[in-house]
Structure 1
Amino acid sequence: MAGSSHGHTPAAWTGVTIAFIGFCVSGAFMVMAQPAGFWAGLGVVVLGGVVGWVMRGMGLGQPKDAHNALVEQQREPASVKS
């Protein structure tokens, strides 16, 4: 995946960072036995996905055809055994 720049976009970094913070908040409140904080943390996780999706829609994500073009470029032709 390193050759395809998978996830190396502002949309991906922002969405994952927000979701990670929500995961940490949710985990901390779960340990403290506070259900309201746990659910609030899960809400932040969902918010991270929404923010990443919106940023991708604004053009800050990887274009759809960029991955397919790179895969086709790197693919080696099959050899025929005789």
Structure 2
Amino acid sequence: MNAQNDPGHGHSPAAWTAVTIMLVGFTIGTVAFFFELAWLVWASAALVLVGWIIGGLLAKAGYGVRGPKYFPKVHS
């Protein structure tokens, strides 16, 4: 597979930012569910959606895998 056909596997600032925000949301939601804090479960669900939106916005801003502001690392 050559570099032009490589999908990039999400190794971009947009993907890393989105996944980090979503992981924080899932973690908070899991702990809140354990302690039966329904309002915090819903707030963490909203945080997961915010992470998804921010990832999309960063990708549109050029920080996605095929964006002009993304420079892939060279692997040896």
| TM-score, length basis structure 2 | 0.77
Partner of 1:26: 29
Determine the structure 2 residue equivalent to 1:35. 38
1:44 correspondence with 2:47:
yes
| 1:12 positional shift | 0.2
- The structure carrying a bigger helix percent of its residues is 1
| Matched length | 62
Unaligned runs of 5+ residues in structure 1 are 65-82
Name the counterpart of 2:13.
10
Q: CA deviation at 1:63?
A: 1.7
Work out the CA distance in 1 between the residues paired with 2:12 and 2:65.
6
In percent, how many aligned pairs have the same letter? 32
TM-score, normalised to structure 1, is 0.71
